[in-house]
Structure 1
Amino acid sequence: MHRAEQERPGRTALEGLFETHYERIARYIAAKVGNAADGEELASDVFLRALEHVDSYRWRGVPMEAWLFRIAHNLVVDHLRRNAHRRTVPVEEASTVASAEDPVREALRTLDREELLRAMGSLTEGQREVVMLRFFGELTSAEAGAVMKRGDGAVRELQSSALKKLRRVLGGQEASQDPAAQGHRKR
């Protein structure tokens, strides 16, 4: 692919991204807004907005997926501002958007929902965002960093502190299975 083609993707590239990433983006948004239907609607809006602005996209060393998740993040912020009065239950309904083979969905089924919600509530906003992007959006740490406008290392540190806090709050259920918790850090 020529550099010029990378710099200005066309409709065809966006259609491929829709097929590949719609479900992940919908799941991420549903987890953020607490409602699967809103997640799916906003995910559609992400791709409409991307289609409207595809000509303004410029390659800057960040994959288009990160650009799409940045659009998703901005739409979520707008949605939450408009609907601040609505009571939401994040994470719980997000699992209904997940695919049948999704490990996060399986984990959500087995965990006590109230306990998980309480644990997520104990995280800072940045930690919650990293968990949502990495595990619901299935982004790499570099892609999550592009969405959050943070470096890869900062994202990994936020993720590490978030997972440690979740382990503590959830009573260390995962600690015995995690090599990092046993001092065997994997890089």
Structure 2
Amino acid sequence: MKTVNALYHQTASAIDEELEWIEASKTDPKQFGPLYRKYYTDIFRYIWKRVGEEELAATLVSNVFVKALQSIHKYTYRGVPFSAWLYQIARNEINLFHRANQRSRTVTMETYQLKEVVSEMNEDDNEENLQLLLNGLEHLQPEELELLEMRYFEKRSFKEVSEILQIKEGTAKVKMHRIIQKLKDLILNV
């Protein structure tokens, strides 16, 4: 089995076990169960935060796991947990849904998460700046909002974000820097 350099949210032994499940699933779909049980709740939350409806999230998460099972033979380990691949599929399902239904996505965040973003901008996390940040979020493109959300609200590493978004890690860092600068400019120019 392959040992992992960057563990993200798992131990090396957990990822090794996961790789065994993946390989078993490639020849026997019944072996997909442990992967489904391990990631169902996380993928459900990820989708629910972006669509805002529990029943819709349940439908989309079902689509994610059906597609994952159908495509498991294409999966290749890239040094990150299997969940990054599932998040890619989930992201695609969410985008397909929004395009088909011409709906905007939902963003869920807590005050402490907003304070972290304001702090990253080297600004005071007072109520006025938090409100200005909230207003500034409305000016971000969906892709920018998604990157901000993954990095600050979901606490994903740049490597994990880059895997989910299918971009280079350096590109994710540059884009994140530009988003923070854009928000800072919006706050300062009000």
Corresponding residue number in structure 2 for 1:90: 106
Stretches of structure 1 lacking an aligned partner (at least 5 in a row): 95-103, 172-187
The 8 Å contact of residues 48 and 57 in structure 2, kept in 1 or not, is answered as yes
The equivalent position to 1:124 in structure 2, one of 135, 138, 141, is 141
Q: Does 1:49 align with 2:67?
A: yes
Instruction: Provide the rounded CA distance (Å) in 2 between the counterparts of 1:81 and 1:106.
Output: 30
CA RMSD in angstroms, aligned pairs only: 3.8
Corresponding residue number in structure 2 for 1:146: 163
Corresponding residue number in structure 2 for 1:176: none
Higher relative contact order (CA 8 A, sep 6+): 1
Residue 115 of structure 1: how far off its partner (Å):
6.2
TM-score w.r.t. structure 1 length? Answer: 0.62
The 8 Å contact of residues 114 and 133 in structure 2, kept in 1 or not, is answered as no
State the number of aligned residues.
159
Identity of counterpart residues, as a percentage? 26
Q: Does 1:64 align with 2:82?
A: yes
Corresponding residue number in structure 2 for 1:165: 182
1:50 aligned partner, one-letter code = A
Residue 5 of structure 1: how far off its partner (Å):
4.2
Corresponding residue number in structure 2 for 1:29: 47
* 3-state SS in 2 of match to 1:8: helix
Change (3 A) 1:138 1:27: farther
Larger Rg: 2
The 8 Å contact of residues 141 and 152 in structure 1, kept in 2 or not, is answered as yes
Corresponding residue number in structure 2 for 1:174: none
Per-residue CA deviation, residues 48-76 of structure 1 (Å, 9 max, x unaligned), is: 22123223323244431111011011111
Stretches of structure 2 lacking an aligned partner (at least 5 in a row): 3-15, 116-126
TM-score w.r.t. structure 2 length? Answer: 0.61
